[in-house]
Amino acid sequence: MAAGRLPASVTLLLLLLAATAVAPLASAVRPVSDAHRSAAAELFAASPDGSFGDVERIYEAVRTFQILGVEKDKSLTGEACKVAAEKLASSSSTAKDLFHAVRISGVLGCGVDSGVYDDVATKLKAVIKDTNSLLELYYSLGGLLSIKEKGHNVVLPDADSTFHAIKALSQSDGRWRYDTNSAESSTFAAGVALEALASVVSLADSEIDPSMIAVVKNDIVKLFDTIKSYDDGTFYFDEKHVDATEYKGPITTSASVVRGVTSFAAVASGKLNIPGEKILGLAKAFVPLILSLPSKVFSLTSKDQLKVEVTTVFGSAAPPLRVNLVQVLGSDSKVITTEAKELQFDLDSNVHYLDIAPLKIDVGKYSLVFEISLQEPEHETIYAIGGRNTETIFVTGLIKVDKAEIGISDNDAGSVESVQKIDPQKDASVSLSANHLQKLRLSFQLSTPLGKTFKPHQRPSTGSFPGLIEQIFFQVFLKLKHESKVEHLFVVPGSARQFKIDFLGLVEKFYYLSGRYDLELAVGDAAMENSFLRALGHLELDLPEAPEKAPKPPAQAVDPFSKFGPKKEISHIFRAPEKRPPKELSFAFTGLTLLPFVGFLIGLMRLGVNLKNFPPLSAPAVFASLFHEGIGAVLLLYVLFWVKLDLFTTLKYLSFLGVFLVFVGHRALSYLSSMSAKQKTA
C-alpha cells in the first residue's frame, strides 16, 4: 500500500467509527443523505464472481451499512454469515479472522452454536498467553470482548499479566511498539494498545491495579502532547518517520487514537487530564453534529423566517440545545448588530427559527454568527460544543426607483433643452429629439426597503487583475434600437445616479444613421425582487451625412426559420380568352354531327330488325341479351364521358365492362358457331 493512502472503504469506515466516538459541532456540512448511502452500497458491491472480499472487508461493509442505515443486501448478509461461520469453525483461522468473524456475527445476528463460541474463546486465550505481538493481543482481546457482549461468560485469566504485557510495549512519549522486536514506536499502535487495555479491564475478573490505570492515563496525556494542528485550528495525530508500509496517514491514525482513548476512558475511573482545546480541535475532524441553514436566501417582502437545523452527521435529531444568534456582519465585515437573540425551537419540524424583521437588516449579503449551548449537563460529556459557527445569507427585497428623468442637454454645463419625468416601473412613451452636438441624459435613484441608497454588490476580482472590483450582480442597461434594427447597448455604472450619452463622440459607432431610435431601460440585481425591462419611448436623432469611408452598419442576423414562414403573394394576369363563334354556328355543327345517326335509325326502320339468328334456347338467349346490353352500356359510358366523366374514370369503368362483354359475347358467339356448323353438316 502506498504511503499515506488507504482504500476508500477503510477510510469511510474509520471516519464513521470515529464520528460515533466524539461529537463536536461544525457548519456548512449537510447530514448523510440517501446519495451517500447509495454510494456506500456501490462501494461495497460484490465482485463479478459474487464474493465480497476477505472477512475484514466484509465486516467493514456490514458495519458501514449498519451505521448509515442502509437496508441490508440479502446476498451480502448470506455471504457474510457463511464466511463468519466458516472462520469460526476452522482450526486454522488467525486471531484477526476470528476477531472480524465474531463481530460480523454480532452485527448480523448469524446463527452460531454456543459451543463454537466456547471453542473460539479457548483459541483466543491461547494466543494471548503465547504472543508478544500487540496486534494479535488486540484481535484476541477484542474477539473475547465481542463474545462476552453476546451474552457468553468470558473471563480473562491473569488479566494483570496481560495488562503488563501490553504496557511493556509503551514508550516514554506516549506511543507504542507493535512487538518487543520493533525499534520504532507508532501513534497508530498507541490507539490499538489503549483499546486492547480497555478490553483487558472489561474482561478481568477483578479490578486492575489502580496505579497501572494511572500510568496509562499519564501516557495518554503524553500522547496528546504530540498532537498537531492545521491552520484552521483542527487537531490531528500523525505518525513519526516510520516504514512506508506501516504509515497510516492522519485520518487513520487520529481515528485509532480516538477509539483507543474513548474506549479506555469508558472503563477507567476518573477523568483524563487532557486540555479541552485539544479535544475540541480533534473533534473538528469528524463533525458528528451539523449546524446548517435549509435556505440561505431570505425575502424581506415575504417576511421569511431564519431557520437553523442542528443534527448529527447521520441526520438524526440532536440533543436538546439552544441556538443563539450573537452577531450579524455586513458584506464588508462591518458589525450590524451584536445583540444576542435566541432562536425558537419547533418540535414538529425540528428546526430553530427567528424572524429577521427585528434584526433591521437590509437587502444584501450578511454573515450570521451562531453559538450553541446544550440544555442537559450530562450531554456535555458526550457532545463537544466549541467555537462559533458562521453562515452566509443573502437578503432580497423590493427596490424603489425615484426621481427618474430623461432629457436632452446641449453641453457639459447641463443646459437642458428638454427633460421628462418617467416611471421606470411602467412602460413610458416619451418623445425626444437631438442632434450630434447634444447629449442624452438619464438619471434615477434606487432605494432599499429601509430607505437607504441601494448600492451594487461587489467582490474582489479573482481573474487576471487581482485588486480590481467586479460588478457581478447589479446591472443597468440602456438600449437604443434604430428603425433599421441596428442596436446600441450602454451599460450604466452601478454607482452612477446620472448617465449621459454624448452623440458627438459616437457618430461613427452609430454608423451616421439618423432617424428614430426606440429607448429601453433594464435594471436588475440579485437582491432586487422587482427587476424590470421597460420601454421609455423614442428619440429622433439627427446625425451628419456619412463620409465616403465611413463604416457600414453590420448585416442583421437572418432568422433561420424565416424560410418556413408565409411567402409573398404572387399576382398573375391570365391571357384573355379568344373570341368564340356565334352559338347558332355551334348548334348547326352539332346537327350535322347527328345526321349519320339519324340516317342509321331511318334505315333500321325501313329494313326492320332481323332476329332470325337470335338463340331460341334460354341460356344462350340470356348471354346474347346481356351482350347487347353491354354494348349499350358502353355507348352510354361514351355519352357520360362527353358530358361529365374524366378520362381516367371512364377507362376504369370501361375495363370492367370490357371483361363482362368478352365473357358473355364469347358464350353467345360460341352458340351461334355451333349452330352454323350443324346446319352445314346437315
- Of 188, 232, 201, the closest CA to residue 27 belongs to 232
pLDDT, residue 463, reads 38
pLDDT, residue 298, reads 93
Q: What is the SS3 assignment for 517?
A: strand
pLDDT at 506 over 70: yes
pLDDT, residue 564, reads 80
Residue range 62-80, pLDDT digits in tens? 887 777 777 666 667 788 8
pLDDT, residue 344, reads 94
pLDDT, residue 282, reads 64
pLDDT, residue 639, reads 87
Residue range 374-422, pLDDT digits in tens? 888 777 656 656 567 888 999 999 988 888 889 998 865 556 567 888 8
Q: How confident is the model at residue 324 (pLDDT cuts 50, 70, 90)?
A: very high
pLDDT at 612 over 80: no
CB 286, CB 15: distance < 8 Å? yes
Comparison of pLDDT for 122 and 419, the residue scoring more: 122
- Radius of gyration over every alpha carbon of the chain, rounded to an integer in angstroms: 50
pLDDT at 127 over 70: yes
Euclidean distance between the first and the last CA atom of the chain, given in angstroms as a whole number: 124
* Side-chain half-sphere CA neighbours of 426 within 13 A: 6
Range 86-98 average pLDDT: 90
Range 154-165 average pLDDT: 89
Give the residue ranges of DSSP H helices in 412-528.
Answer: none
Take residue 679 and report the three cell numbers written for it.
346446319
Cα dihedral sign, 615-621-627-633: positive
pLDDT, residue 280, reads 63
Range 556-570 average pLDDT: 78
pLDDT, residue 333, reads 80
Comparison of pLDDT for 495 and 432, the residue scoring more: 432
Q: Of all residues in the chain, what percent carry a pLDDT higher than 90?
A: 21
Range 648-670 average pLDDT: 90
Rounded to whole angstroms, how far apart are CA atoms 315 and 289?
A: 9
Residue range 245-294, pLDDT digits in tens? 556 778 788 888 888 888 888 888 877 777 766 766 666 555 556 788 88
Comparison of pLDDT for 604 and 13, the residue scoring more: 604
Q: What is the SS3 assignment for 563?
A: helix
Residue range 187-214, pLDDT digits in tens? 999 999 999 999 999 998 888 888 898 8
CB atoms within 10 A of CB 143: 29
Q: How confident is the model at residue 561 (pLDDT cuts 50, 70, 90)?
A: confident
Write the CB contacts of 618 (distance below 8 Å, at least 6 apart in sequence).
Answer: none
Mean pLDDT of the chain: 81
Comparison of pLDDT for 48 and 482, the residue scoring more: 482
Write the CB contacts of 662 (distance below 8 Å, at least 6 apart in sequence).
Answer: none
Q: How confident is the model at residue 10 (pLDDT cuts 50, 70, 90)?
A: very low
- The model's pTM is 0.50
Least confident of 240-249, 294-303, 529-538, 663-672: 240-249
Residue range 446-473, pLDDT digits in tens? 888 988 888 765 443 333 333 333 344 4
Instruction: Report phi then psi at 113, rounded to 5.
Output: -65, 150
Least confident of 138-152, 434-448, 464-478, 632-646: 464-478
pLDDT, residue 352, reads 93
pLDDT, residue 377, reads 76
pLDDT at 60 over 60: yes
pLDDT, residue 532, reads 87
pLDDT at 518 over 90: yes
Residue range 208-259, pLDDT digits in tens? 888 898 899 999 989 888 888 877 677 888 887 555 455 677 878 888 888 8
Rounded to whole angstroms, how far apart are CA atoms 474 and 453?
A: 13
Range 144-159 average pLDDT: 88
pLDDT, residue 2, reads 37
Range 502-530 average pLDDT: 90
pLDDT, residue 49, reads 66
Annotate 556-577 with b (16+ C-beta within 10 A) or e (fewer): eeeeeeeeeeeeeeeeeeeeee
pLDDT, residue 236, reads 82
CB atoms within 10 A of CB 297: 12
pLDDT at 541 over 90: yes
Rounded to whole angstroms, how far apart are CA atoms 18 and 288?
A: 9
Q: What is the dihedral of CA 60, 62, 67, 70, to 10 degrees?
A: 130
CB atoms within 10 A of CB 250: 17
pLDDT, residue 9, reads 43
pLDDT, residue 7, reads 43
pLDDT, residue 411, reads 63
pLDDT at 30 over 80: no
Indicate the DSSP class of residue 317.
B
Comparison of pLDDT for 357 and 343, the residue scoring more: 343
pLDDT, residue 50, reads 64
